[in-house]
Structures are given as C-alpha cells and as structure tokens.
C-alpha cells in the first residue's frame, strides 16, 4: 500500500542512526519500483553518504522513474555530482 510506504519512509527519515541507513541500503537491493523509489527518496533525504555508489548505479536504471529518483537523491547527498 502506497500510503503505508509513505508513512514508513517519513518515520525512517526522522530516525537517527547508522542501523537505519544500513537497513535502507539492504532493502534497496531487495526491492522493486515503487518501494525502491521510496527507499531512494529516503536515502536522499537522510543524505546517506554510503548510498552514493548504489544510487549512482541506479541513475542509468531502465525505469525512468527510478533513474530520476536516483539522480535527485544523489544530488541531495553530493551537490557537485555529475552524471
């Protein structure tokens, strides 16, 4: 359910700690489209530096929405990013 996903993402954005970052990174590799985009957005909003490598790989994802979310999240983490 999209509404539940959005609420969960908002909660995770506010939770401190590397454990949350690690859980999001693990989930990024195990999810698809809508859920993945939510995780990508959350990683960007949290400015998770460790997410740069997986996000950069998703910039060229065949799904345009995923690729755009990855570009936006990467830019939040690294304002000087070039693709």
The first and second tokens of residue 10, run together, are: 């908002």
pLDDT band at 72 (very low <50, low <70, confident <90, very high): very high
pLDDT for 26-37, tens place per residue? 989 888 888 899
Give the model's confidence band at 3: pLDDT under 50 very low, under 70 low, under 90 confident, else very high: confident
Q: Which of 36, 41, 38, 29 is CA-nearest to residue 72?
A: 41
pTM for this model (two decimals): 0.86
22-66, pLDDT tens digit by residue?
Answer: 999 998 988 888 889 999 999 999 999 999 999 999 999 999 999
Report yes or no: 51 and 20 within 8 Å, Cβ to Cβ: no
């Amino acid at each position: 359910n999209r509404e539940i996903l959005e609420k969960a993402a908002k909660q995770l954005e506010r939770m401190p700690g590397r454990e949350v970052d690690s859980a999001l990174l693990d989930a990024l590799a195990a999810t698809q489209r809508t859920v993945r985009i939510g995780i990508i957005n959350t990683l960007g909003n949290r400015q998770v530096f460790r997410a740069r490598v997986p996000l950069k790989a998703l910039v060229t994802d065949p799904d345009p929405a995923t690729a755009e979310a990855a570009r936006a999240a990467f830019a939040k983490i690294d304002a000087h990013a070039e693709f």
